[in-house]
Structure 1
Amino acid sequence: MKSEINDELPSGPVDESGDGRSIESFLGKVVKEHRTNQGLTIADLAEQSGLSRSMVSKIENGQVSTSLDSIVSIARALGISISAMFKNFEHREGNAQHVKSGKGMEVVRRGTTKGHTYHLLAYDQGPVKLFEPFLITMDDEAEVFPTFEHPGTEFIYMLQGKMEYRHGNRSYLLQPGDALTFRGSVAHGPERLIKLPIRFITVIMYGQSPDLDT
């Protein structure tokens, strides 16, 4: 008969990482991930570690505070080190917003017409809009552009083409690799398209604008 290590410790307050995960829950996910990646069943891991099936199941579900002896036994059975099991515990849970190439939401801004498209590259999910990043494409040299005014600061980075861009009473020649940052509250917009097609990234950052040279 298999002897089981006594590894179920008294329950109590759990250790928390910076993002609120319990160490029991984290360990369980790591064990299950390594077990399934190796094509092992709970029964296989139980046999190789010297623990019971029910104990392995409880560990994977974060239902017990596991002793160090049991953690060592599981790590050896999985062929990994103790440090490898806990290396990501202090890392915060990822929650990035990933927009695939060509999948940005196409939006219409005031005054834009055929030959001038805006693709929104991220979508604010909170109650306050913090920023708006756009990929803008222009391919109609006959288009007449309106001027824009809005709160916050705008940043432009040129990817392709060449154009003159007006901000207030000054005009700037923008080519690939050029960047322009300015107050959104001052009238601005494309003034002359020199080389088509034109593509650039613009990010509108809402909030207080820094003192920029206009």
Structure 2
Amino acid sequence: MAAPAPHPPRIEDGIGAALRDLRQSRGQSARWVAERAGISAAMVSRIENGLVSPSITTLEALARTLEVPIATLFREARPQHSDYTLVRCGEGLKSTRITDNHRHEYVNLALHSRKDLRFQARRVTLLRDSGPPPNYVGHGVVFVQALSGEAVYLYGKQHFTLRAGDSLSVDAELNHGFVEVITPEFEFLTVQAERP
């Protein structure tokens, strides 16, 4: 006789696990959380043990008490799958970006697209003689680490000269990007994370 199929994880169990982790990471008792959220300590215990399905009002009170977005209480209730990308040395998806008067090579190292986050990492090579690189305006955060060479990065009205080993992170809301390549070749790693 075949074993029964496993039950999918219950959302109540996920909410309970998230609440317990958040509470314990702050060193707070169930009674402390209950008093500030306006519910009983017994209810906090029942929620943490997955015995009840709390109302949105109760979840909002708990999230406010723990100073987190309400969505944080659902973090353990996600589907039981995840993706990963392993790129070995010298590998990756090689691409070329062409604009009106510029061209550069880059290698895609990672790309993850979820409903709440878009994440990408690239290794980019700029050549001094390939014309002015493009600038960008977007959302989220951009991280840049210079791997070799020297170039000037624009962020809003500020200019930063980056050399091998230097790194910079910026909010993507302002105009940003490399505006001058000083050495014959400049290679850098760029990582961007944003909400879709």
Kindly indicate whether the alpha-carbon contact (under 8 Å) linking 1:119 and 1:136 is maintained by their aligned counterparts in 2.
yes
Runs of at least 5 residues in structure 2 that lack an aligned partner in the other structure: 7-79
* 1:114-172 alpha-carbon deviations (Å, 9 max, x no partner): 65112111122544542111100012335122221111110000100001111110000
Shift of 1:174: 0.2
The alignment status of 1:130 with 2:130, answered yes or no, reads no
Task: Give the superposed CA RMSD.
Answer: 3.3
- Which residue number corresponds to residue 185 of structure 1? 173
Shift of 1:111: 2.8
Matches of residues 26-37 of structure 1 in structure 2 within 5 Å? none
Runs of at least 5 residues in structure 1 that lack an aligned partner in the other structure: 1-10, 15-91, 209-214
Q: Which has the higher strand share?
A: 2
- Structure 1 consecutive aligned stretches of length 4 or more whose deviation exceeds 6 Å: 11-14
Percentage of pairs with the same residue: 22
Shift of 1:112: 7.5
The alignment status of 1:97 with 2:49, answered yes or no, reads no
Scaled by the length of structure 2, what TM-score is found?
0.52
Shift of 1:195: 1.2
**Paired letter, 1:203:** V
Scaled by the length of structure 1, what TM-score is found?
0.48
Q: Which has the higher helix share?
A: 2
Match of 2:163 among 161, 172, 175: 175
Higher Cα radius of gyration = 1
User: Any idea what SS the aligned residue of 1:200 has?
Assistant: strand
The alignment status of 1:204 with 2:192, answered yes or no, reads yes
User: Any idea what SS the aligned residue of 2:138 has?
Assistant: coil
**Paired letter, 2:144:** I
User: Any idea what SS the aligned residue of 1:141 has?
Assistant: helix
CA distance in 2, matches of 1:139, 1:110: 13
